[in-house]
Structure 1
């Protein structure tokens, strides 16, 4: 039994100084390297004293930054974002900032924001051989209002520079490799990185398989067993039987488009449910789907199954959709807009509160880059839309130890605030790719060792697909957040001429495919169900993205030890630890658990949040030996692409037991925290959400969602 005694009650308001003094800022943690600011003197860069024009500097404090610190700085200077530890980016002259430091004892150091700090590590090393080679780059500016001016300065640096797109705080340009540092030196430039090549994240099997691959099918639905869509493994039927079908929910999809791109002539599985569509592809005037990927994705979200007499439905088959097509007829590929907020804003204006994206850049693994930052900026400003991204399909066993290697996450799935989805295995033998992994042409290079080599890709629902990208991110955050079936998924086939059959046609209306591309829309359907449940069953109107994410994570199923059992790492055990881990995240989506959330589970959507140095305490009582599972999620402000740590506002989740002992993950990297503990003795417990460091809070506080079950 659980009794919630205190709700949204701040029981302890500790002075901020006493909380933060133990972790005073003395090191700047940048991707370019750690800087020990205790070794910096006021005169170590005397040449900067002569600068007449204001430019960007880093002002580090001796303690966690307070609202008073920020207010004092903003009264005199232009202040931008946060850098770890305990530092803000400020525009001024060095002389003025040193004067400020000398009169404010809380300031630790003033450091020039060097061009070297702003250049991504993903560039190839500069040399005499490549200095004149033109490279496509993304330049991120501090202020959108200055972007045109900054672009003009960049163009003036070198006659070879070609500006391509200037939009928002982003500049896409072709510049000589040797000019990258000079571009970074322009005042107003925050970050320079290579321009990623985005791609749809279905796992491309074309021309990659030996032998017979696509299982033969009747095509008349008589051979269907019910597991083909992936919804059975996810237990969607438990929701459907209770009337939770996505009714009243609107999901948006940005992809290659949707079928005909015309609401009046759309495939019958979408008829009456697509409320709007928009073209975003370069030189495109329509949101149709010449490729077929987006149509398959949409079918998994909310296809109503009319063509199959209701047999092949998406997860939220009564939901509405806002379709966004990013296919470029000129490039014959995806062309993702440079300003990602345009995608989200269009959908948001049409009522979407779930946005699914089965694409990403698969070359700068794990990077918290300019595009991940754009997503976090938009979601922080619009905290009631949950954005989903596919994790990527770059999973491989390059070291041949029988386990998939770490560190292959695609951006923007590296963003903090999104729900990043990896692919687990569907369990089906009726169609799609039904051969051992060893039959894939890439197997000897990508998955050459047992037990993966001879495995099948859809034979164990507790397995993670071998191609699914693994975390962690470069800064150590756990990704993916969650997994869902992404192998041999049967969904709607685009009716446009020349559209791909993907992993093979079932008939004229449906096709097979696989990838984190397929896992992500199935999860989006589950999120739509979760949002409907939160509103209709639990009375939480307009739930935050943090609460939706916390609900998805809280109800997921831990797949430990994975499909090969507890055989040990040396023999290829798939999951070495229980959740969370960077193979499965917090586990596989389970819709039955979502719709059956009971009174023993508390769903807390705290919009006011917790202040730095304060805590909000929830008390509960266990009448007998029991367990606790708690998940804390918050929508963080965007970090910096130049920082070695993406987290800005840091909360802690701490359990105090009846004997006074405390339990916590002590996590200062992720914007998710968890406590999962069984065998708890009877007694009264305190579960506290604490504000550790909140340098960029709203009105000095950080909103959060907390879902916990004590029983």
Structure 2
């Protein structure tokens, strides 16, 4: 029974939030290790305290960084970014910084930003035996206009060095392993990591299953049940029936390309729906798709279903597409631009407000690396585009306990501001891979234990794909954010010669595949419908990415305990806790819930935001006992790839009950918070967003989105 929410009021309060001694800035948290600045000795600075040349230092404050602190530093020094806890990276001369510390009692410490703090943990250990081994590195600089000078310095370090790409603030180079510390020590260098190996995130099918796969399909559509595209399980039909199919929305996809790469001569399922296309692959002049992966992805987003007479449509089949091809004909593989913002900027300029990406660095498990930082940097500067990334296909049960192991997330899916999508199971009994997992070649190494070993991959809508990467991230954040069907999904077959049949061709127009690559575009189609609902039904003319993300989380379905039931961890229970968790995130996307939004659900898209030490409250009244589900999302400032914690601006969501009791997640790791509580007594409640720490706010505040349902 629904109870109307009455008396909604909003109040803004300037409150002083106390910072306890335990929260004060005394530790610098690097991936390379923590530094207790209370324990620094005078000898610590001996090697660099006499330097007269400006370089990078870390200025840590005794309490949360304030706007006054930043202004004081900026008046004398260049200020670059935030490091936990309560520190800012600056460029200056050490003696001047010591004077600043003397004149500002709130400063805890001034520490040289040494090269060893800037080197990624992803490098193989250096030794006398490996120092001459050539490694491909990605170097990030603090300032774009210094990148050429820094590239020149790197090139002069050794005759074997080859600087390959200089783009924006990024340098890709081939250097001896032994030179990595020297590169990191250069003034102006922010981070050095191995150049990521980028892969499309479809799950590679065993070659020995190819005959079985192709034999399962009738190819004339007579055997289709409606489940094959994955849209039925997500309840797209309900949204379509209400008139929501993505009309007026533009989605961009960066992938292996899209069919012919010619809007005037393209597969009939995309005719009239692709408004532009761009080549990004190295040595490529076309955005065509000779591989097939991108075409399958695009079909799941907005394929019209023309060839199948409407039987195999994408989730947002009335939406438009901006296609971005990253296939390199020379490399025969994806080649992602080192400056990821180029992808997003092109699409944004053409009207896209959703950008879907089914690729990632599959071997960057859990890392908040250079690519993740770049995505967060661009999204923070451009908060109106929701960017989706696939979680990865590295899920495995290496410890043989019958549960998929944690910490296998792929970057940039590790970024804070993206909507990261894992793969749940589709439900279909024909096409694709229709054998027990035990029959897969990798099963004995990757999934050797029950109940996974003898299960099928598309027989349970509450199941997760065994290959879907799990979180959390290395710094403990919950990922993925949501899941969508990613096993045995039928979508469009690229018409380019020699395009891969992926998991098997259904006919000349459609092909089976699976992976988080397939789940992500289905979620992107749902996001297009969410945006259409927000704009058309709820009157929100330009919803932020944070609001779209909050809407997707708010309407997802909790899949707890997963496909094997509440059998306990020792017997392989798939999902051990209620959402959010790092198996399903906030749950499986449900488009019917999106289409039915309204009524008791309230939407807040606060562009001004909340400042540090301030709070914004929303009152509501339950006229009878009921429940609350609330999701707070903010597009956070980019963190540092060198830091052990990615979160920068930290907000809290607090529920105050009629009796004055408060409830909160007390989460200081994620840029998402939620409260889900049933059995609430009748009465007036206050839902409050608090600015706990906002060191990198715009105009001193952090914008946020809040979606809540009280009924």
Give the equivalent residue in structure 1 for 2:555.
555
Give the equivalent residue in structure 2 for 1:294.
294
Say which SS state the counterpart of residue 505 (structure 1) adopts: coil
Contact 1:610–1:703 at 8 Å: present in 2 too? yes
1:63-102 superposed matches below 5 A: 63-102=63-102
Q: Which runs of 5+ in 2 are unaligned?
A: none
Q: Distance in 1 between matches of 2:371 and 2:65?
A: 27
Alpha-carbon displacement from aligned partner over 1:102-149 (angstroms, at most 9, x marks no partner):
111000000111111000001010011110011000000011111111
Q: Distance in 2 between matches of 1:47 and 1:358?
A: 47
Give the equivalent residue in structure 2 for 1:169.
169
Give the equivalent residue in structure 1 for 2:104.
104
- Structure 1 residues 536, 21: CA separation in 2 closer, same or farther (over 3 Å shift)? farther
Q: Distance in 2 between matches of 1:567 and 1:438?
A: 21
Q: Distance in 1 between matches of 2:166 and 2:698?
A: 30
Give the equivalent residue in structure 2 for 1:9.
11
CA shift at 1:46, angstroms? 2.7
Alpha-carbon displacement from aligned partner over 1:242-274 (angstroms, at most 9, x marks no partner):
100100000000000000000111000000010
Q: Distance in 1 between matches of 2:41 and 2:127?
A: 33
Give the equivalent residue in structure 2 for 1:497.
497
TM-score (structure 2 length as normaliser): 0.98
Alpha-carbon displacement from aligned partner over 1:282-314 (angstroms, at most 9, x marks no partner):
000000000000000000000000000010000
Say which SS state the counterpart of residue 9 (structure 1) adopts: strand
Alpha-carbon displacement from aligned partner over 1:135-170 (angstroms, at most 9, x marks no partner):
000000011111111111111222211100011111
CA shift at 1:44, angstroms? 3.1
Q: Distance in 1 between matches of 2:226 and 2:513?
A: 16
Q: Distance in 2 between matches of 1:408 and 1:278?
A: 31
Alpha-carbon displacement from aligned partner over 1:489-522 (angstroms, at most 9, x marks no partner):
0000000000000000000000000000000000
Alpha-carbon displacement from aligned partner over 1:448-500 (angstroms, at most 9, x marks no partner):
00000000000000000000000000000000000000000000000000000
CA shift at 1:41, angstroms? 4.1
Q: Distance in 2 between matches of 1:5 and 1:159?
A: 72
Give the equivalent residue in structure 1 for 2:317.
317
Alpha-carbon displacement from aligned partner over 1:352-387 (angstroms, at most 9, x marks no partner):
000000000011200000000000000000000000
Give the equivalent residue in structure 1 for 2:194.
194
Give the equivalent residue in structure 2 for 1:638.
638
Q: Which runs of 5+ in 1 are unaligned?
A: none
1:45 aligns with 2:61: no
CA shift at 1:539, angstroms? 0.1
Give the equivalent residue in structure 2 for 1:262.
262
Alpha-carbon displacement from aligned partner over 1:609-655 (angstroms, at most 9, x marks no partner):
00100110011111111111000000001000000000000000000
Say which SS state the counterpart of residue 307 (structure 1) adopts: coil
Contact 2:206–2:440 at 8 Å: present in 1 too? no
Q: Distance in 1 between matches of 2:300 and 2:9?
A: 38
Contact 1:209–1:441 at 8 Å: present in 2 too? no
- Structure 1 residues 283, 309: CA separation in 2 closer, same or farther (over 3 Å shift)? same
CA shift at 1:209, angstroms? 4.1
1:655-694 superposed matches below 5 A: 655-694=655-694
Contact 1:389–1:418 at 8 Å: present in 2 too? yes
CA shift at 1:666, angstroms? 0.4
Contact 1:251–1:354 at 8 Å: present in 2 too? yes
- Structure 1 residues 35, 22: CA separation in 2 closer, same or farther (over 3 Å shift)? closer
Give the equivalent residue in structure 2 for 1:156.
156
Q: Distance in 1 between matches of 2:542 and 2:42?
A: 51
1:519-558 superposed matches below 5 A: 519-558=519-558
- Structure 1 residues 2, 616: CA separation in 2 closer, same or farther (over 3 Å shift)? farther
CA shift at 1:22, angstroms? 6.0
Moved over 6 A (4+): none
Contact 2:213–2:504 at 8 Å: present in 1 too? no
Give the equivalent residue in structure 2 for 1:702.
702
1:429 aligns with 2:429: yes
Contact 2:460–2:563 at 8 Å: present in 1 too? yes
1:304-703 superposed matches below 5 A: 304-703=304-703
Give the equivalent residue in structure 1 for 2:31.
31
- Structure 1 residues 8, 215: CA separation in 2 closer, same or farther (over 3 Å shift)? farther
Contact 2:19–2:63 at 8 Å: present in 1 too? no
Q: Distance in 1 between matches of 2:16 and 2:246?
A: 46
Say which SS state the counterpart of residue 445 (structure 1) adopts: helix
- Structure 1 residues 380, 495: CA separation in 2 closer, same or farther (over 3 Å shift)? same
Q: Distance in 2 between matches of 1:4 and 1:348?
A: 39
Q: Distance in 2 between matches of 1:160 and 1:666?
A: 51
472-481 or 154-163: bigger deviation:
154-163
Say which SS state the counterpart of residue 504 (structure 1) adopts: coil
Alpha-carbon displacement from aligned partner over 1:328-364 (angstroms, at most 9, x marks no partner):
0000000001110000000000000000000000112
Say which SS state the counterpart of residue 44 (structure 2) adopts: coil
1:54 aligns with 2:54: yes
Contact 2:640–2:646 at 8 Å: present in 1 too? yes
Say which SS state the counterpart of residue 207 (structure 2) adopts: coil
- Structure 1 residues 610, 2: CA separation in 2 closer, same or farther (over 3 Å shift)? farther
Say which SS state the counterpart of residue 708 (structure 1) adopts: strand
Q: What is the RMSD computed on CA atoms of the aligned residues?
A: 1.1
Say which SS state the counterpart of residue 306 (structure 1) adopts: coil
Q: How many residues align?
A: 709
1:229-244 superposed matches below 5 A: 229-244=229-244
TM-score (structure 1 length as normaliser): 0.98
1:119 aligns with 2:103: no
Q: Distance in 2 between matches of 1:350 and 1:622?
A: 44
